[in-house]
Structure 1
């Protein structure tokens, strides 16, 4: 299991363990903050519209209650941030392309929410189909991210599996909404 260096373990560059742990903790905080920022931006679209048009929308029979989305996304965004941090930590040459893919999926994640929730009142069903295209691209991007994360950190790749599962599930909800609204 991947861990921070022990207090007694010398760092590869001879720095004291406290100096090694400090940048690691700061980097983890940055990854967590980036995920929280994406979640916060997405929340604007959701909060403004989940009690608007979405209340009366024809939703899939397997749609979970609205209160479940917040806790699930909190867990997923945290797991995503920790996974990215685990890939960043070793500073391997293959970390950079993996983190670029991570950034791409984070942008797609951010685009889906306002497309689905905010554009529907303006564009109607076309917005739901556009959101469906985005979520399909998101599934591909997250899958590529898992494939790139896995060889660097198996734990990081595994941390993203609930995310893929959830967005595949969310894509079924999106498809139902596009077909039935």
Structure 2
């Protein structure tokens, strides 16, 4: 409960922690002024959310992750000393990988590489949550929606990657042969 109240008393550095993760989606948005091409793919999963929902999801997740990283930073005394090296270093690595995923997925349309990076990212986020848990339980819990979002994103990337492989050799439904 104290963590929820601390949102109102966030230090000025908290704004930086909350905003920093969103640099990735902002760069993707700037690099791809017209990103609808991949989303118009007829082979995308029928359950794939609209492009705006995907980007809104990523941005929301980044705000939540940023706040969680702020909680860890604050609970370890602030600054950038040795106690913060592992918890925030691991977070920085997974944040960089997540930005790479966004670029592979939305800019490069490389769904196979995005999928590989998403699997790596999943492990990094789980590791981050496990390291953060003893420091700040709420921060660790705030990473759970991120894991759910990565699962959705990975399933979309997998489906797009699978359907892009040898499209002419995709299995066809078996029916009655009338030869």
The alignment's TM-score, normalised by the length of structure 1, stands at 0.78
- 1:74–1:53: structure 2 CA closer, same or farther, 3 Å change rule? closer
> How many residues matched?
157
TM-fit CA distance, 1:118: 2.2
Give the unaligned 5+ runs of structure 1: 6-20, 121-126
User: Partner of 1:103: helix, strand, or coil?
Assistant: helix
Q: Could you say which residue in structure 2 is the equivalent of 1:161?
A: 144
Instruction: Tell whether the 8 Å contact from 1:35 to 1:81 is kept in structure 2 after alignment.
Output: yes
Asked if the contact 2:118/2:154 (under 8 Å) is kept, the reply is yes
Paired with 1:45 and 1:61, the residues of 2 have a C-alpha distance of 27
Retained in 2: the 8 A contact 1:57–1:177?
Answer: no
Aligned residue for 2:2, secondary structure, equals coil
Residue-by-residue CA offset, 1:111-150 (whole Å, 9 max, x unaligned): 0111122223xxxxxx221111111111111111111111
1:174 to 157, 164, 168: 157
CA distance in 2, matches of 1:142, 1:26: 26
| Structure 2 counterpart of 1:68 | 53
Give the corresponding residue for 1:15.
Answer: none
Aligned-partner Cα distance in 2 for 1:156–1:118: 30
Alpha-carbon RMSD: 2.1
1:35 aligned partner: 21
1:22-77 deviation line (CA, Å, top 9, x unaligned): xx52210111221121221132355433x224312511122112232233223211
Query: Could you tell me how far 1:94 is from its partner in structure 2?
Result: 4.4
Residues 45/169 of structure 1: CA separation in 2 closer, same or farther (3 Å cut)? farther
Write out aligned runs for 1:1-181 (5 A). 1-3=1-3, 25-45=11-31, 47-49=33-35, 51-91=36-76, 94-120=83-109, 127-181=110-164
TM-score norm. by structure 2 comes to 0.78
Do the aligned residues in 2 keep the contact of 1:45 with 1:113 (CA within 8 Å)?
no
Contact 1:95 1:152 in 2 (8 A): no
- Does the 8 A contact of 1:150 with 1:157 survive in 2? yes
Query: In structure 2, do the counterparts of structure 1 residues 132 and 57 end up closer, same or farther at CA, with 3 Å as the change threshold?
Result: farther
Larger proportion of helix: 1
